[in-house]
Chains A and B, each alone.
Chain A
Amino acid sequence: MTKTEVKKIFTKGIYTDNPIFVQIIGICSALAVTNLMMNSLIMGISVSLVTAFSSLTVSLLKDHTPKHIRMMVQVLIISVYVIMVDIYLKAYMPEMSKALGPYVGLIITNCIIMGRAEGFAGSNPPMLSFLDGFASGIGYTFVLMSVSLVREILGFGSFFGISFIPETFTRWTLMVMPPSAFFILALIMWVFNNARLKRQREGVEKK
């Protein structure tokens, strides 16, 4: 495992192969928890850890898993880690656990984890799979944080729960409601897509 390999995995997970922008997976939970930045941060960390450890486990067990039941095995592995995260949140951050509600359990059906397990961990060594899962999780967290940054500032006038915009500023109620999540994610994707298309066009001209 060389340094360039690690660097490649991280750029892929966070930018060029970002699970949400490029592969369009794991959107469900990406939208539901983005009204406050703190919620998104905790959700992002949970998903990163679950993805990293389940990739590691899938990769360790890949030679002992029969091909036709591998999906079931992967789901079980993922559930075990999600249960661990859930118990931890319930014990140490009961408020947060209540705010995230069923969305912690829904990490199981988050396609990012399944996608990494199936697409990368099934055919790569354990340590690389661990890093790959972690990088994808960071990419996901990054998107979550950018959506919630806009929503929290405009909707609540605060940053990580700290109010900094004076009360006279009218709160943008729409930003707290579900539709705004769709609009903001779409706009962020638009910016990203434009950057990618520009890069592609430049690449063609150089040739």
Chain B
Amino acid sequence: MIQVHPFIIFIASIFTSNMIFSNFLGMCSFIALSKEIPTALGLGIAVTMVLSFTTVLNYFVYWYIVLPLGLEYLMYILFILVIAAFVQLLEMVMDRYLPTLYYALGIFLPLITVNCAILGVSLFMVTRQYNFFQTLGFAVGSGIGWALAITAMAGIRSKLNESSIPEGLRGVPITLIITGIMALAFIGFSGMVQIQ
């Protein structure tokens, strides 16, 4: 494994290997909740937060629990438990100490447990054998990249209401086509940095 600088991984995971445009992770909520900018932004922030914390936690789980004890076959269960437990905990802490933030983001938190991007980033971290700082850069960058993608999408979709689209294309298909065009645009960044 070539050692890539954490900052390069950070930039690359926002632009060139964006979770949505090149790895297709987190598509379900990306399509369902990208109708309005405030909702999209709220979800984006929540995902970034959960993603950063859980990936770092899973890093420790992987290197200090899974590997020394030889529990590779339990890796998936441990990761998903860490994610579910963390989301539950975050929900309780926010409810107690940050009620305004809780009311803004609260409804998105349970949805995040089943967001494939969260588990996906942890699994990519394992397959690519990142060290601690690389993991940190990768997790935060992926979260920001995801938030950027869903917010941009919501901006475009709010304009679509006024345009005439063929009946069969309305809703999800047109969203997919726009995502494809955005993915093409993001490929333009790929000459800049490359981590895969």
Contact = CB atoms under 8 A, between A and B. Distances in A.
A75 B24 CA distance: 21
A109 B115 contact: yes
A62 B184 CA distance: 46
Nearest to A34: B24
A192 B179 CA distance: 20
B119 A185 contact: no
Contacts of A31: 24, 27
A125 B31 CA distance: 33
Contacts of B114: 109, 111, 114
Interface in B165-196: 166-169, 172-174, 176-177, 179-181, 183-184, 187
Given A79-B77, A178-B183, A190 B27 contact: no
Given A109-B116, A194-B168, A102 B176 contact: no
Nearest to B18: A178
A29 B23 CA distance: 9
Contacts of A29: 24, 116
Nearest to B19: A28
B183 A179 contact: yes
B62 interface: no
Interface in B134-173: 166-169, 172-173
A82 B76 contact: yes
Interface residues of A, number: 42
B180 A186 contact: yes
Contacts of A101: 127
B25 interface: yes
Nearest to A192: B168
Interface in A79-101: 79-80, 82-83, 86-87, 101
Interface string B107-142: 000000011101110011011000000000000000
A187 B116 CA distance: 24
A58 interface: no
Nearest to B185: A179
Contacts of A72: 84
Contacts of B183: 178-179, 182
Given A101-B127, A179-B187, A27 B173 contact: no
Interface in B55-87: 73-77, 80, 84
A177 B196 CA distance: 13
A80 B80 CA distance: 12
Contact of A76 (B75, B77, B167, B180): B77
Q: Which of B21, B27, B114 has the most CB of A within 10 A?
A: B27
6 contacts: A25-B28, A27-B28, A28-B26, A31-B24, A80-B77, A109-B120
Given A178-B183, A194-B167, 4 more contacts: A82-B76, A186-B169, A186-B173, A190-B166
Interface of A: 24-29, 31-32, 72, 75-76, 79-80, 82-83, 86-87, 101-102, 105-106, 108-111, 114, 177-183, 185-187, 189-191, 193-194, 197
